[in-house]
Amino acid sequence: MNEKRRLKSLVSETHCVDWFDCLLRDQSHRGHESHDVMISCTRRVQFCSGHRVFGHEGKCRHLHGHNYVAFITAQADELDAVGRVIDFSVLKERIGGWIDREWDHGCVLWEGDSEAIAAVGACQPSKIFRLPTNPTAENMADHLLRIVSPMELVGTGVRVVSVRLWETENCYAEAGECIG
Q: Which of 133, 143, 151 is nearest to 70 (CA)?
A: 143
Kindly indicate the confidence band of residue 177, based on its pLDDT and cuts at 50, 70 and 90.
Answer: confident
Catalytic residue among 41, 60, 66, 174: 60
Q: Kindly state the average pLDDT of the residues 15-19.
A: 51
Give the model confidence (pLDDT) of 88-142 as tens digits.
999 999 999 999 999 999 999 999 999 999 999 999 999 999 999 999 999 999 9
Whether 105 is a known active-site residue: answer yes
Whether 78 is a known active-site residue: answer no
Whether 167 is a known active-site residue: answer yes
Catalytic residue among 22, 107, 143, 167: 167
Q: Where are the domains of the chain?
A: 1-36, 40-176
CATH classification of 40-176 is 3.30.479.10, yes or no? yes
- pLDDT at position 102, please? 98
pTM of the model: 0.79
Kindly indicate the confidence band of residue 19, based on its pLDDT and cuts at 50, 70 and 90.
Answer: very low
- The enclosing H or E element of 67 equals strand 64-76
Give the helix, strand, coil percentages of the chain, each rounded to 5: 35, 25, 35
Catalytic residue among 29, 56, 62, 105: 105
Q: Which residues contact 165 (CB under 8 A, 6 or more apart)?
A: 68, 69, 70, 71, 137, 140, 141, 144, 172, 173, 174, 175
